[in-house]
Each structure stands twice: as structure tokens, then as C-alpha cells.
Amino acid sequence: MSSDLQVFRLPDLGEGLTEAELVNWLVAVGDQVKVDQPIAEVETAKSMVEVPSPYAGTVAELHGEAGQTLDVGKPLISIARVGTGSGSPDAPADAADAVSTGVLASPEVSAAAETYRTEEKAGSGNVLIGYGTPGGATGGRTRPRKASVAVVEPAAVPEASFEPAVAGTRIPGKLSAVISPLVRKMARDHGVSLDSIEGSGASGLIMRRDVEAAISAPEAPAATAPAPAVAAAASAAEGSVDGRTGLAVSARTPVRGVRKAVAANMTKSRSEIPEATVWVDVDATALLDMRAELKKRAPHDTPGLLAFIARFVTAGLKKYPALNTRFETAADGSQEIVGFDGINLGFAAQTDRGLVVPSVRNAHELSARELDAEIRRLTAVARDGKATPTELGSGTFTLNNYGVFGVDGSAAIINYPEVAMLGVGRIIDKPWVVNGELAVRKVTELTLAFDHRVCDGETAAGFLRYVADAIENPGGALADM
């Protein structure tokens, strides 16, 4: 390897994480990069982060493709020092140079390379596929061939730049049918064969819009038999028969990223925590009336219902601190209940990446209005995949508003290593006795799951009743907080 080539390895991402999924390259081979310039987006079990480059120079090689899981410490990118060109005399600086290695480049090819480069950088939507693009593995579904695919001879293309499995007619002087690994990932995730797509870009370059059109096109029987590799993949996903049920397997979805972390956390919670559950129906009419009155006075600055309930929860945890602890077992078998001087209130947030639990740090110090602002901010960054490991892993108690999904109650699994979780169901009209008379009231159900090792039912019931009473008499409760 040339001494002028600087190899940057995937850094330690903190929180004990040992791997990350490469979601998106922000640079391409031949690009000039500066120190601290973001070069890739990676997704860990905690969040999605941008990885900055510690070197300046020319990108010589990308070690991995979108969708690939990389171990911490493994090569991520190779960068040639400024003024030395690429790290290898045989490696072209960009896609246009790749074409000129062994074949004569044309202005059309150079234009296509520049089109690709511009779209990758600017995120035009034609090539760049960022985080959050929906779709999953649906098996090796193939579509009818539309036209031959133009690709470069393998000798003219650096390994890290193109997919060697793309097959089709090779036309000298043309770019590869697909330059972007992100477009390839989109096609792979939706089971679309790139052989069947006629690229609309310069020199037959397959763009994101071409793959999207293929995904939305009605399916038809394939005109030709799939290649052996494609057939094998299809057999593994769709053609195989499950031995236990006798049914054909429709798809196999790898468990990784956030889903993998959630699965491990829930399994550990269920296996280690002897949890119990208590619940109560609550008349939330007064809380809704109070918020409606506040909204009349300040239409754009009124906290949401969850923020008020969060305020009641933090007050309740001060009164019943056993539910704001952690149960620890040391290597020698000794056990401790660890208490905290403060409350980091987690709340469940549904995102495209799965369920995550960002936490409001020092929530006990915040008003309902401040809690509302922080809940909204954390929800936004979590859904964008930008929440930090600290924001996602520092909670001491979780509030779960599953009422937004239209359900009344849930036997929730505690967010390990916490010891309790409060769930809030939907608020609906129900018959309720008020001052001895039947009336229609706004009623919700509160459900508390707690670790029976840290407290008995009396403590759990006391906390639950405190929050319920605050919801039913919010004015009086807020006056005392």
C-alpha cells in the first residue's frame, strides 16, 4: 500500500457499540475532502450519525456499500494525501477516469460522471437515497427485461466503485449502468433486477427515478430465466418452504440496527425483571378543559397533554423515588438498588427506524411548557435519526403514550435497565358517575408496569393514584408543584 494513502477506520462510536450499518456515502471516489468533512452516515443500535474525516485529500477507496454492517476498527475509507493523486497508480480518480482506463472516454461519459457527482453531493433526489427511504427485503422478485444494460469492462473499474454482479451487454466507452451504491441498495431492497431497467441518465446511467418507476410498475412474468445468483437468492427467500408450517417463505428480514437493540433490550427485561402491573381508569375531563382554556389565551404556546402528564409524573417520582431507580447485580452476586438525584424522563417515540426512547434530562426541573418544547425537539431528532446515544440511553423512567395508536391499555415491557414504565391509553367518552349522577366524561386508562424487586404494590399503587388524582384535578396539582 502506498505510504501516501491514509486509511481511516470506523471509530469507536461510544456506548459500548462494536458495529454500525453503513447507510449512505456522502463522498465518492475522486472527491476532494477536508478535515472534519462528513464522509458517511452510519446507523448504530442507538442512532444515526455522520462520520467526519480526520484527513484531507482525495478519496481513493470506499470500504463498503450502503446496507453493509461494519465492525469498529475496520477500514472505512482510504484517502490519498493532497497532491499525490489516488492511492494506487491503477485506481482512477473518478468515474470519468475509470472509463478512460482501457477505453477512450467521451464528452458524453464525462458529462454523465459529473451528473452523478453533482447529484450525490447535492441530494437532487435523482441518485441520492438518504435515510428513511421505505421498503424492505421482499425476496428475489424479478421484473421483465426492458433493455440491455451498459457497463464498463471490469478491468477499467475499481472494485470499490461498482457492483461486479451487474450483468448485461458491455459497451466500450460507456459508464456503468449504476454508479451510486445507494441506487443499487434501493433496487436490492425492493427486489428489482437492475438488468431490467433502461437508464434515463446520460450514457444509460440508471437514476433513482428509474428504480422508483420499476418499483411502481405492475409485475409481469419474466421474459428470460433469472441468472443463477438471482435464482438462488429468490429460492432462499421466496421459493423455500418452512419445515415447521409447510408454508412458502415470503421474505427474510435481517434483525439489525434499532430493531436488534430493541429485541435484545426487551428480551433482557423479560428474563431479568419480575414485573407486575397495576392500572386505573381516570377522568381527564378537567385536564382537557384546562388545556382548552389555555389554548384560547395562547393558541400557539400551549403545552400538549403529554407535557402536563409528564409534569405530574416527575412530581410523583419525587414522592415515590423507588420507581426512579436501577437494580444492579455485581459480578460477585451482591445486589444494589441505585437511586438518582434527578429524573431523566424517557418517552416512547415511533420512528421509521422502529421504537426509540429519547429522554428529557433533568425533567424534574422543567415546567410543563419547557417539557413540551423538549419533547417536541427530541421527537423530531429521533425521527430524523439524529438523536445522540446520550439522548437515547440515559432515561431513568419511561412514559409511553400508546393512546395515539388507538388502544386503551397495554401490558408493557419495562425499558431495561429502568424499573418502571407508565402507559397512557386513548382518551374517549365514557359513562361516569359525577356527584351521584351519571355523566359522559373524557376517560383514559393509566397502566404502570414496575419491577417488584425495588418496591411493593403499595408504592406502585400510591404513585399511580397520585398521577391519576393530578389528571383529575390539574389546577390544584400544578399549584402544589
| pLDDT the model gives residue 178 | 53
The verdict on 209 and 78 lying in the same domain is no
The verdict on 314 and 340 lying in the same domain is yes
- Give DSSP secondary structure letters for 441-452: EEEEEEEEEEET
How many domains does one find in the chain?
Answer: 3
Please say if the pLDDT value at position 316 is more than 80.
Answer: yes
Query: Which helix (H) or strand (E) element contains residue 170?
Result: none
Whether 63 sits among the annotated catalytic residues: the reply is no
Number of H helices, E strands in the chain: 12, 19
Reference 66, options 31, 94, 25; nearest CA is 25
Please say if the pLDDT value at position 116 is more than 60.
Answer: no
Q: What is the pLDDT of residues 222-251, one digit of tens each?
A: 444 444 444 444 444 556 898 888 899 998
The verdict on 291 and 431 lying in the same domain is yes
CATH of the domain at 312: 3.30.559.10
Average pLDDT over the chain reads: 76
| pLDDT the model gives residue 168 | 33
The verdict on 181 and 273 lying in the same domain is no
Higher pLDDT, 229 or 175: 229
Check 190, 300, 364, 452 and give the catalytic one: 452
The verdict on 105 and 225 lying in the same domain is yes
The verdict on 393 and 275 lying in the same domain is yes
- Give DSSP secondary structure letters for 183-251: HHHHHHHTT--GGG----SGGGPPPHHHHHHHHHSPP---SSPPPHHHHHHHIIIII-B-TTT-PBP--
Which domain-ending residue is among 218, 252, 286?
A: 252
The verdict on 52 and 111 lying in the same domain is no
Residue 193 pLDDT class (50, 70, 90 cuts): confident
Structural contact between residues 398 and 357, judged by C-beta atoms closer than 8 angstroms: yes
Three cell numbers, residue 399: 412514559
| pLDDT the model gives residue 369 | 94
Enter the pTM of the model. Answer: 0.56
Residues of the chain above pLDDT 70, percent:
71
Beta pairing partners, 135: none
The verdict on 366 and 442 lying in the same domain is yes
Beta pairing partners, 430: 441
Task: Among 36-50, 387-401, 430-444, name the most confident range.
Answer: 430-444
Structural contact between residues 308 and 287, judged by C-beta atoms closer than 8 angstroms: yes
**How far, in Å, CA of 173 to CA of 96, rounded?**
10
Which domain-ending residue is among 198, 233, 252?
A: 252
Structural contact between residues 179 and 97, judged by C-beta atoms closer than 8 angstroms: no
Please say if the pLDDT value at position 146 is more than 50.
Answer: no
**Which residue is associated with the grid cell 494513502?**
5
The verdict on 266 and 197 lying in the same domain is no
The verdict on 200 and 308 lying in the same domain is no
Which domain-ending residue is among 252, 279, 294?
A: 252
The verdict on 432 and 470 lying in the same domain is yes
Please say if the pLDDT value at position 102 is more than 70.
Answer: no
Phi, psi of 108 (to 5 degrees): -65, -40
The verdict on 62 and 118 lying in the same domain is no
| Upper half-sphere CA count for residue 35 (Cβ side, 13 Å) | 4
Higher pLDDT, 428 or 123: 428
Q: Which domain holds residue 262?
A: 258-479
CATH of the domain at 87: 2.40.50.100
**How far, in Å, CA of 470 to CA of 308, rounded?**
9
